[in-house]
């Protein structure tokens, strides 16, 4: 298993994402026992970084992860997030889901409460990587200096070990870096969605910040398991992904069909090739993939173990470029 370093933490380059394990209308209901088996299979397969967030199932994902890691907590690094709250009216309105009103709040007061709630749900004494989930907005502005003051205080207390930010910009990342070390940036990224890394690359590289990709399989689109008649359920996580719109969806499926010779060459699925392509971007990349079953976990691990030739990396990139261009002209 390829590895990287997030701050002082050595982790597997492939990380397990647990958004779907939270269930709800985003992903549908889950069998928690199957989720626990998937988490444990991931650890047994060499994954040492597991990502979650309070907003994933409104605490449920964190609770399931805490149960799954009973007795094996020290084998893995846990990352969770802060800045999205639903138990207070303080903050900028973000969205409503499953009967909850979620607000953005990155104030020091809120973060100090949030970390205690996450520690309790995760049944742990520390959070290895603490990530600001979404950034402050004008409706409830919190200075980056205040947010970093809270994060650095939590680090000094030993409650968190490394600092990350998500859904950001080069300007906001640079402002965080004015006040302290940022160890990880988590952004949406796949072979079909590369813009965020391109705009952040110079800043992350210059400051030794790991770039962690979320949705590298485009919410399951790149697994190759969805037929051309598939329609994302209204209100699901996929329904807001532009690659599930009819014109882009068709272009993506055409691309996946062109991958079949490479699938045969490597004895791999399309999804595993997508993971391998992402992992091959460099040793400062962390590839975050979700799994709700043992089979999915094992499939992701196999993808991270594939070593693509430089020629095949270029070929995959070319087919994706063509799919992007086709989707933009239709």
Dihedral angle computed from the Cα positions of residues 241, 244, 249 and 255, in that order, rounded to the nearest 10 degrees = 50
Active-site residues: which are they? 56
Average pLDDT, the chain: 95
The model's pTM: 0.95
Whether 195 has a pLDDT exceeding 70, the answer reads yes
Residue 212 CA to residue 202 CA, distance in Å, equals 15
Q: Domain locations in the chain?
A: 3-220+278-306
Name residues whose C-beta falls within 8 Å of residue 261's C-beta, 6 or more positions apart in sequence: none
Structure letter (DSSP) for residue 190: B
For the chain, give the percent of residues with pLDDT over 70. 99
What pLDDT is attached to residue 168? 96
Angle value at C-alpha 101, between 123 and 170, nearest 5 degrees: 80
What pLDDT is attached to residue 330? 56
pLDDT digits (tens, 9 = 90+) for 107-151: 999 999 999 999 999 999 999 999 999 999 999 999 999 999 999
Residue 252 CA to residue 323 CA, distance in Å, equals 6
Neighbouring CB atoms inside 10 A of 198's CB total 9
**Long-range interactions of 118-121: CB distance < 8 A, separation 24+:** 118/54, 118/62, 118/80, 118/82, 119/159, 121/54, 121/59, 121/62, 121/63, 121/66
Mean pLDDT value across residues 53-62: 96
The token pair at 320 is 């994706």
CATH number of 3-220+278-306: 3.20.20.100
Mean pLDDT value across residues 80-96: 96
CB 274, CB 18: distance < 8 Å:
no
CB 223, CB 300: distance < 8 Å:
no
Residue 238: strand, helix, or coil: helix
């Amino acid at each position: 298993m390829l590895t990287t370093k997030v701050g002082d933490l050595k982790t597997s380059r492939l990380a397990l994402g647990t958004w779907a394990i939270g269930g709800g209308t985003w992903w549908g209901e889950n069998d928690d026992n199957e989720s626990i088996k998937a988490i444990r299979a991931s650890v047994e397969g060499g994954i040492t970084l597991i990502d979650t967030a309070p907003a994933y199932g409104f605490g449920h994902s964190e609770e399931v992860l805490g149960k799954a890691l009973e007795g094996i907590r020290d084998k893995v690094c846990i990352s969770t997030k802060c800045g999205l709250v639903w138990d207070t009216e303080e903050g900028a309105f973000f969205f409503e889901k499953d009967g909850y009103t979620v607000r953005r709040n990155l104030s020091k007061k809120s973060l100090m409460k949030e970390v205690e709630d996450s520690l309790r749900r995760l049944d742990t004494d520390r959070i290895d990587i603490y990530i600001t989930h979404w950034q402050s907005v004008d409706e409830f502005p919190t200075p980056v200096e205040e947010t970093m003051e809270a994060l650095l205080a939590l680090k000094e207390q030993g409650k968190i070990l490394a600092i990350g930010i998500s859904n950001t910009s080069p300007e906001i990342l640079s402002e965080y870096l004015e006040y302290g070390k940022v160890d990880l940036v988590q952004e949406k990224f796949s072979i079909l969605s590369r813009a965020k890394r391109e705009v952040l690359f110079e800043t992350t590289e210059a400051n030794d910040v790991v770039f962690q990709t979320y949705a590298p399989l485009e919410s399951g689109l790149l697994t190759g398991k969805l037929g051309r008649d598939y329609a994302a359920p209204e209100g699901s996580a996929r329904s807001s992904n532009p690659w599930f719109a009819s014109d882009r969806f068709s272009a993506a499926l055409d691309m996946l069909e062109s991958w079949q010779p490479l699938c045969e060459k490597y004895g791999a699925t399309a999804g595993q090739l997508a993971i391998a392509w992402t992992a091959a971007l460099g040793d400062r990349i962390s590839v975050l993939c979700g799994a709700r079953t043992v089979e999915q976990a094992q499939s992701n691990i196999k993808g991270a173990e594939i070593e693509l030739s430089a020629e095949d990396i270029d070929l995959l990139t070319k087919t994706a470029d063509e799919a992007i261009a086709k989707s933009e002209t239709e």
